[in-house]
Structure 1
Amino acid sequence: MVCKGICIRYKSGRPFGINSRYENGQKRCSICEIFINWDGKYCPCCGYVLRTKPKGTQTRHRLMELQQIKRM
């Protein structure tokens, strides 16, 4: 799996007023090391599975709390 540079077209900027990129619907490719706006499950550039949840424990818990608040 190698980054081919196609992902640059789908690169997303930091969302304004939202704490989490994942909350905004952005996904991260671990190979290309970039956040992208992509509807698929795999990176359009390298074909690797995109991360849809944060790795860090604190950030993950904060995202879960925000999702529970939205459900109410």
Structure 2
Amino acid sequence: MDGKRRSDIKPGLHVNIVLKEDQRTGNLTEGYVQDILTKSPTHPHGIKVRLETGEVGRVQEILEED
């Protein structure tokens, strides 16, 4: 899944995100979702989340589901 629907994302989910500073390069950061920051049900660039490490970015892909 690509992370564009809020309903697909839950705290603890293993994801790849793109950080704001990496949007041009497309570098992905792997981690686990702590908080979901996007309020709308969908977003064309990915749902914004905070990882357990404190990094904030938009979900590009979901790596595993519980």
TM-score, L = length of structure 1: 0.22
Determine which structure has more spread, i.e. the larger CA radius of gyration: 1
Structure in which a larger fraction of residues adopt helix: 1
Higher relative contact order (CA 8 A, sep 6+): 2
